[in-house]
Amino acid sequence: MSWIIDYYSEDVRLEIESLPAGIRASYARLANLLEEFGLDLRMPHSRAMGGGLFELRPKGREGIARVFYCMKVGRKIVMLHSFIKKTNETPKRELELAHRRQKEIMAP
C-alpha cells in the first residue's frame, strides 16, 4: 500500500513548484520514492529531524533544497515547508516554521 502526499497549504505546493528546474526534478523523483517507501525512506534521500519531523533532500545543478514533512494517520505525508539551502546548517527559523506547522496539523 502506498502513501499519499498532501500539502500544508496551496502556498507550500506553489513554493515547491517554483524551485529551480533541476531541484524540482529531484524533488519529483524523491516524492515518488516517498510515496512508495514512506517511513522506510532514509539517507541520503530523507532524514529524521526529531519529533516526527523529516526532511526530503532534493538537489540539482542549481543547488540543494530541503522540504520538511511529517506523517499522519492513514498513510498520509504532509509537506510543510521548503527552502533553498545556502549554508551547511539548516537555519533555525526554517526549522521552527516547519515545527509550528507540524504542531498545527497534528493538533486534535
pLDDT at 52: 95
In tens, the pLDDT along 68-95 reads 999 998 899 999 999 999 989 999 999 9
Stated pTM of the model: 0.94
pLDDT exceeds 70 at position 1: no
The residue behind cell 493538533 is 107
Cβ within 8 Å of residue 68, ≥6 positions away? 49, 53, 54, 55, 56, 79, 80, 81, 82, 94, 95, 98, 101, 102
Query: What are 10-62's pLDDT values in tens digits?
Result: 999 999 999 999 999 999 999 999 999 998 999 999 999 999 999 999 999 99
Q: What architecture is domain 4-106?
A: 2-Layer Sandwich (3.30)
